[in-house]
Chains A and B, each alone.
Chain A
């Protein structure tokens, strides 16, 4: 009886002390504005980075250097952006996503503006690679993490919507960048891209902070906690991290090597461009479909993640197995690339969408940053290894089989996530949980899921 009294009094005390928070994400309203802002952020970071390749020949010509030398500009920017993402998340857990994204926008813009006055390729490595790259690192993970915080039932759809920004922007920005290059040369184009990337700052301003119950009460002070490295002690997240690193090793290879593979198979320049566009359109299209499917709650997210991952791997294996093409437009390769693109697009929002169920909404920002870093670990390793295989074997067949099998093995590891496999206990949980209960709600208990929690035990027995 005393115990009971004690507990009740503690609960009451807590209610008095704690400021009243939103019990659960608003699932709409301003959330859609946040999703739209993340869409633009994604477009102005990844989409722009993809289109930046168009400016590389101009750099090569002006500085009289090889294409390989100039390719390092994009490579450094991508590496810095991915590797520094946890820093962006850490800063935004400390100070909130809004100021971090706004400052990130200004840094990115500065990187472009300074690069416009470059007098050597080194200046471009520093300006576009280091400065713009670290600016991008500050904007992407916090913006995407904020979307996750605003949504619960429609989370994967909202994340998928934000992630389509990449594809839409690369379709839009590529011709715009070409126009800028033709009209103003690379210096003028970089200057104006500096003005364009400055739009990241108003996007950041739109990310109104949101206080949810389940958030840590005080911002973390030690850098280790701020980066969220303690998340690795959490078994479900550790499994997820291992799987994601493996997937990352294969995931970015088609970005780099699909076009040369198509050319190797005897397709013309336009045929190869068609294949790449086919993969990109498939990719953009299924991001929303997968979000809708995931939010329907018919299939547990980890299972959906493993399934789409496996499909992506199989698609890449198919791309690798396509024989030399007879017809100019390469129908078989186009079909295989389209299938790959569609499954890769379905996979992308799930990687981020599955996180709240694994770590809770309180650590979502750090977890997003860590996932990006993990994928980049694999991403840095994959393409050079695939290029090496191409040099040894003479074609890209081995490269694609290799990256396909990496993604397949990553998906296999995802099967150890809670809920990925149908249970074989005598009393199975309802197979189609209603959306509200389909994921762990952001209560403090779920944030620190203990090993006793049935959800976090890797279900390896089935």
Chain B
């Protein structure tokens, strides 16, 4: 449950909030009224979410990110903010200081440029909170934003706005000739508008022609992942493959290494080990035969000695002979 909700791009409490608020927003458009009634009757949270992600925005996803900047510490304060869809983001910086708050000057920067918007301020005991609200609807808006506090020393906290990352298997995918392989990419909690696949042609990327039905196939999957099936693999198709995700606010890609092997590759060590096993088994049986023969041979040799001994030393010899014969009989039994 949690996963399917998260997959739509924002945390559960927010989506419930949106769902509750949906009727208020949707007064203007007729289609939306239609939809909301359906959503209300069915009372499923997923429905409300579907609405938000599929409709083009006026509905921005509300987000809030907070940083804590401490005057006495010169550690770098920063945070990555992943944005998948147009959003209205509230950035907050809490500045902890011992200075009287009226001597602290605050401004915000985007990249290297100072924003000429005045920051809203709030004072909470000895913490000064600066906050601004940004509407992120375009690639242009994806940048680093910093709050800068000028007190006795200058301190700043930075928010890095990032397009969602694409996750793939780090290890190469190993498959065999004439078999098929499935390459897989996913964008975890964010849903891109579109997925594209590329392969490498020596040095440059070439888009994969999905229309070649007997070679490539896009398997059905969830919206936040893409699966490319390559059929009738050939050794020449080894190499890097890229999946490209296009989001509202930018693009992101993941890569996957494919290795196509010939069946002969594992067959060689397989045959070597099998031969080793055959040698081991014959060795074990030969050793058993040999050790038994040697045992009987030494025993008969000793028996012979014993006969000699028996002639000279009667009593002792008889005892020994008895022992020996018992041994030999047990050996026969073991066979």
Query: B-contacting residues of A (Cβ < 8 Å)?
Result: 19-22, 61-62, 64, 102, 181-185, 187-188, 191-192, 194-196, 198-199, 201-202, 205-206, 208-211
Q: Are A206 and B270 in contact (CB under 8 A)?
A: no
Asked if A209 meets B334 with Cβ closer than 8 Å, knowing A20-B326, A202-B284, the reply is yes
| Extra A-B contacts (18), CB below 8 Å, given A185-B174, A187-B266 | A19-B332, A19-B333, A22-B330, A64-B182, A182-B171, A182-B172, A185-B173, A185-B261, A188-B261, A194-B270, A195-B270, A195-B277, A198-B274, A199-B277, A201-B277, A205-B280, A206-B284, A211-B334
* Complex partner residue of A192 from B179, B261, B269, CB under 8 angstroms: B269
Residues of B within 8 Å of A205, CB to CB, are: 280-281, 284-285
- What residue of chain A has the Cβ atom nearest to residue B179's Cβ? A187
Asked if B76 CB lies within 8 Å of chain A CBs, one says: no
Asked if B153 CB lies within 8 Å of chain A CBs, one says: no
Most buried by B among A181, A198, A208: A198
How far, in Å, is B182 (CB) from chain A's closest CB?
6
CB contacts between A and B, total, < 8 Å: 78
Q: Are A210 and B284 in contact (CB under 8 A)?
A: no
Query: A-contacting residues of B (Cβ < 8 Å)?
Result: 171-176, 179, 182, 184, 219, 227, 259, 261, 265-267, 269-270, 273-274, 277, 280-281, 284-285, 288, 326, 329-330, 332-334
How far, in Å, is A167 (CB) from chain B's closest CB?
24
CA distance A216 to B274 in the complex (A): 37
- What residue of chain B has the Cβ atom nearest to residue A205's Cβ? B284
Residues of A within 8 Å of B330, CB to CB, are: 20-22, 211
* Complex partner residue of B333 from A20, A192, A196, A206, CB under 8 angstroms: A20
CA distance A22 to B326 in the complex (A): 10
How far, in Å, is B238 (CB) from chain A's closest CB?
12
- What residue of chain B has the Cβ atom nearest to residue A105's Cβ? B277
Residues of B within 8 Å of A209, CB to CB, are: 334
How far, in Å, is A193 (CB) from chain B's closest CB?
10
CA distance A182 to B259 in the complex (A): 10
Q: Are B266 and A184 in contact (CB under 8 A)?
A: yes
Q: Are A61 and B176 in contact (CB under 8 A)?
A: no
How far, in Å, is B175 (CB) from chain A's closest CB?
6
CA distance A211 to B266 in the complex (A): 43
- What residue of chain B has the Cβ atom nearest to residue A198's Cβ? B277
Q: Are B329 and A19 in contact (CB under 8 A)?
A: yes
How far, in Å, is A196 (CB) from chain B's closest CB?
7
Q: Are B334 and A182 in contact (CB under 8 A)?
A: no
Residues of B within 8 Å of A19, CB to CB, are: 329, 332-333
CA distance A403 to B274 in the complex (A): 43
How far, in Å, is B230 (CB) from chain A's closest CB?
12
CA distance A184 to B269 in the complex (A): 11
Residues of A within 8 Å of B175, CB to CB, are: 185, 187
27 CB < 8 A contacts A-B: A19-B329, A19-B332, A20-B333, A21-B330, A22-B330, A61-B182, A62-B182, A64-B182, A64-B227, A102-B281, A182-B171, A185-B173, A187-B175, A187-B176, A192-B266, A192-B273, A194-B270, A195-B269, A195-B270, A195-B274, A198-B273, A201-B277, A205-B284, A206-B284, A208-B288, A208-B334, A211-B333
CA distance A183 to B265 in the complex (A): 10
Q: Are B273 and A191 in contact (CB under 8 A)?
A: no
- What residue of chain A has the Cβ atom nearest to residue B325's Cβ? A20
Asked if A202 meets B280 with Cβ closer than 8 Å, knowing A196-B273, A209-B334, the reply is yes
* Complex partner residue of B176 from A185, A194, A208, CB under 8 angstroms: A185
Q: Are B329 and A20 in contact (CB under 8 A)?
A: yes
Q: Are A64 and B219 in contact (CB under 8 A)?
A: yes
How far, in Å, is A450 (CB) from chain B's closest CB?
29
- What residue of chain B has the Cβ atom nearest to residue A183's Cβ? B174
How far, in Å, is B290 (CB) from chain A's closest CB?
14
Residues of A within 8 Å of B184, CB to CB, are: 61
How far, in Å, is A19 (CB) from chain B's closest CB?
5
Residues of B within 8 Å of A102, CB to CB, are: 281
- What residue of chain A has the Cβ atom nearest to residue B279's Cβ? A202
- What residue of chain B has the Cβ atom nearest to residue A206's Cβ? B284
Residues of A within 8 Å of B174, CB to CB, are: 181-185, 188
* Complex partner residue of B266 from A64, A188, A198, CB under 8 angstroms: A188
How far, in Å, is B313 (CB) from chain A's closest CB?
26
Q: Are A191 and B266 in contact (CB under 8 A)?
A: yes
How far, in Å, is A189 (CB) from chain B's closest CB?
8
How far, in Å, is B241 (CB) from chain A's closest CB?
15
Residues of B within 8 Å of A62, CB to CB, are: 182
- What residue of chain B has the Cβ atom nearest to residue A194's Cβ? B270
Residues of B within 8 Å of A199, CB to CB, are: 277, 280
The 8 closest A-B pairs by CB, nearest first: A185-B174, A188-B266, A195-B273, A202-B280, A205-B284, A20-B329, A198-B277, A184-B266
Residues of B within 8 Å of A22, CB to CB, are: 330
